[in-house]
Amino acid sequence: MPVSIPERSTSTIVRQAIRVLVAIGASELLSNLMHLQDPAWALITAAVVTQTTIGETVSNGQSQLLGALIGGGASMIAISLHELGLPQEAALWSALIPLAALAAWRPQTRLGLVTVLIAMLFPSDNSPFFVPIQRVICVLAGVLVSMVVSFAVLHDQTRRDAFRLAAAMVRGIGAILDGAAHHDIGWHDIQSLDDTCATCLRRISANVAEARRERFRSLEKRDPMLAALPQALQQLQTDAMVFARAALASPVHDAKDAQTLVRGLVSSLEQIARGCDEQAHGRSPGDEHTRNALAAIPHDDITEAPEWRFILRILRADMTSFIGFLSNPENSSPKTGNDRKTTPEKSGRS
């Protein structure tokens, strides 16, 4: 069964539009307070720098500011050469050539070329050094406003997006188990589903990284569930691929009551996905949801094959841990890796 990766929600698009408009308005206000002669560049910079994530905004702002500073310095040198008698065209190209080479080597400095062209081709009626200085000040104002807006205005969408993606990934894991167990799909299709899950996981990790930038307080302290989400999902994905490889090599239909086994795993994963949907809407799954999810997980004694008992113990341990961690916001991170050494046996008998 195909698994779709959630696109950007309408609220995310609206939030970004509001952030850009607020940044432009705040830049205009700051430009008026600073009495800048050419405030348009501050507004343009704010519009360009303000991105959907804090990380992208910081990176873009650094590039804009670095380019403006380099371009401003190069403009001052070119203007000085022109004042000393060098023709304007020669002075301009003496600045453009090294800046073009620098931009080819470090693309984040390409704004320096724009600054030089503006300073040399559109000189001020006042001092010839006025334009590059004003240009740097305007860019600095636009960057500062964009940074403040990105941190302060409507930036709490990352948690919702992370859990929306988590729900899609868990359903993808369920599709891997179901398809492999019934031999509805081959290994190529299994890998395609795994790639989709990996894409979801990368985007979830990016959202978690963004959430870490949103506050000065550690994410592990203010939202341990979100901090541990990528690791927990990666463990489930690994378990699913082990199950799929074993199922295709040794059909699970040979196990006793195989249909119940697969149906139980997929049903529990669907309950986990619904729990992620609840978290995406700012709600914690209720006790009934937790009971249903736990009850659906099959026990390892459903089969006599030792390899399947081992795989089911691992799956049961990780799924049980994930359900408990998902339903309790105060919980610490779920057990993974070495934490599982004694858990499977207990889970198998519970």
CB 173 within 8 A of CB 240: yes
Domain extent listing, the chain: 10-152, 158-349
pLDDT digits (tens, 9 = 90+) for 231-254: 999 999 999 999 888 888 766 555
Please give the pLDDT value at position 287: 78
Over residues 175-186, mean pLDDT? 84
d(CA 28, CA 149): 14
Q: Give Cα 59 to chain centroid, integer Å.
A: 15
Please give the pLDDT value at position 253: 55
C-alpha closest to that of 27 among 55, 59, 64: 64
26 or 258, which is more confident: 26
| N-terminal to C-terminal alpha carbon distance within the chain | 32
DSSP, res 154: S
Query: Minimum mean pLDDT among 153-157, 269-273, 291-295: which range?
Result: 153-157
Backbone angles phi, psi at 107, to 5 degrees: -55, -25
> Is a pLDDT exceeding 90 seen at residue 77?
yes
Please give the pLDDT value at position 155: 66
d(CA 148, CA 170): 36
172 or 156, which is more confident: 172
C-alpha closest to that of 239 among 324, 331, 326, 170: 170
For the entire predicted model, the pTM comes to: 0.75
d(CA 179, CA 211): 34
CA atoms within 13 Å, Cβ hemisphere of 70: 23
d(CA 148, CA 142): 10
